Amino acid sequence: MEKISEDNLQDPKDQLAVALDVPDARAALELVDRLEDSCRWLKVGMELYYATGNSLVEALRQRGFRIFLDLKLHDIPNTVAGAIRSVGSVGAELLTIHASGGRAMLQAAADAAQAPGSPRLVAVTVLTSMDSGELASVGISDTPAEHALRLAHLAKNCGINGMVCSSNEVASLRQEIGSDAVLVVPGIRPAGSEVNDQRRIATPADAISRGASLLVVGRPITRASNPADAARAILDEIASAQNRPELNALKS
């Protein structure tokens, strides 16, 4: 399977992951059918994975989809390393861990992910549902941008060159971490969409222009009356952003 990089993520379908935030396999497969041929990446999060396990991931892969397994692993180093080994054979290409788990956990995760067939790790910096007030409530006085950059540097120093961040931080992370990093951006909302529980959001075009590698979109697609049309509209926004001067500057 082709490795993700900034150079091969030029087809808009390779820059969009549809979040299957549904409770069971039946709902997931029904949604996938409604997506038709509008996407290549699917994100399987905790709700769905805990309900279905590896069987659904394997079924989606058999249909030709690339899988982003969003489990946000965060535990003691040995437990996280074991979890990575456990999911390594299922064929997911991306797997999330929390950068806030610390150096020892990140290094153990990076070591475990060296096994053949393991997914590429992407470290979650600051959840897009959090703002400065939420960070302050857990004792972090930095802004989301400052905290995200600190965690991104920590993850990279531990051998993890992929991050999850909001669109607000993606430009600074791209500049600081480099062009080869995979930067996954959730909290994407097309113009006019409801914000829901997200705090730090952007349109698809803005996120791509700032240097995002992969956009994660859930409700604006999955709750649309026609999910395939909603996904294709986002693909059009991605395509329109790819030739923006600011994006080319980020890649130079």
The Cα 121–Cα 144 span in angstroms is 21
The Cα 80–Cα 108 span in angstroms is 7
Residue 224 CB-density burial (10 A; 0-12 exposed, 13-18 middle, 19+ buried): middle
User: Which residues are within 8 A (CB) of 176 and not within 5 positions of it... i.e. 6 or more apart?
Assistant: 149, 152, 153
Catalytic residue among 3, 13, 43, 72: 72
72 catalytic per annotation? yes
The Cα 102–Cα 203 span in angstroms is 31
The Cα 74–Cα 100 span in angstroms is 8
CB 43 within 8 A of CB 20: yes
CB 188 within 8 A of CB 209: no
Q: What's the Cα-to-Cα distance from 40 to each of 11, 64, 72, 244, rounded to whole Å?
A: 10, 8, 22, 24
Active site residues per annotation? 72
